[in-house]
Each structure stands twice: as C-alpha cells, then as structure tokens.
Amino acid sequence: MSRSTDRGNVMRFSRIAAGLVAAAITGGGLVVTAGTGPASATAVLDRPGCRYRVVRVQTRLNIRAAPRGRVVDKLYPGDRTWGSCKAFGTWRRVHGTHVGRRGFAFGHYLKKIGRR
C-alpha cells in the first residue's frame, strides 16, 4: 500500500469519526460533564426528582421539546417515568419511554408516585 492510500484511509476514518461524534452530541446521546470520572456520573444519576405514572390517557401522551412545542417522544397508559418535581405552569419535565428523550408533558395526565 502506498502512503497516499494510507493517508486517504486515515482521513476517511477521521471524517467518519467526526460525523459520529457530531451526531451523538446533537442527538443527546453524549453528555459531557466537567469531571469525567465515575463520581461525576453518579452525581448526575443521584439528582433529586420525582417519579410519575401516566393516567387518564387512552392512546398515548406526547412528550414535547417545550410546552406546546413539537413532539419528541411519547408515553403510553400506565407507563412510569421520572423527571423534575418543579412545575412549569401546568407542564412537567419528564423522560419519554419510546425513544428515551427528555421533554415536557401536560401535568393533568401525570400522577406523582414518589421521589427519586
């Protein structure tokens, strides 16, 4: 193999790796924190929050990017999820179960079942 072919493979690999990193960051799949050790990962998981159960829903509950925003995920009747205990008007910030994205759900359809 010549040097130009090796250089081309390295450049191609670099472009693919950069594209994957960009996709992970924009898709929310990569979280970068100040401390990258196990202690900081535990701190993120131990953040206080509330657990909710989906009630009064016949088909599905949409999870939106912002209150009254575009739909990014969904919850189904009886699903359990977690999120912030803080209310944003009549909306709650929760995690969807279909795709796993965070967003806002209308509080009327969520019953608080405990703290996280």
The CATH number that applies at residue 107 is 2.30.30.40
* Tens digit of each residue's pLDDT (9 = 90 or more) over 32-91: 444 444 444 444 445 679 999 999 999 999 999 999 999 999 999 999 999 999 999 999
What is residue 113's predicted lDDT score, i.e. its pLDDT?
A: 95
61 and 106 together in one domain:
yes
Same domain, 38 and 52: no
List Cβ neighbours of 43 (8 Å cut-off, separation of 6 or more): none
Whole-number Å distance between alpha carbons of 78 and 53: 6
Q: Where are the alpha helices (DSSP H) in 1-116?
A: 3-26, 38-45
**pLDDT of amino acid 12:** 58
How many structural domains is the chain composed of?
2
- Element (DSSP H or E) covering residue 113: strand 110-115
Question: What pLDDT score does 62 carry?
Answer: 95
Q: Which domain holds residue 23?
A: 3-42
- Per-residue model confidence (pLDDT) at position 116: 81
Q: Is residue 92's pLDDT more than 70?
A: yes
Please tell me whether residues 109 and 55 are part of one structural domain: yes
Question: Order of strands across the sheet with 71-75?
Answer: 71-75, 61-64, 102-106, 91-95, 80-88, 50-54, 110-115
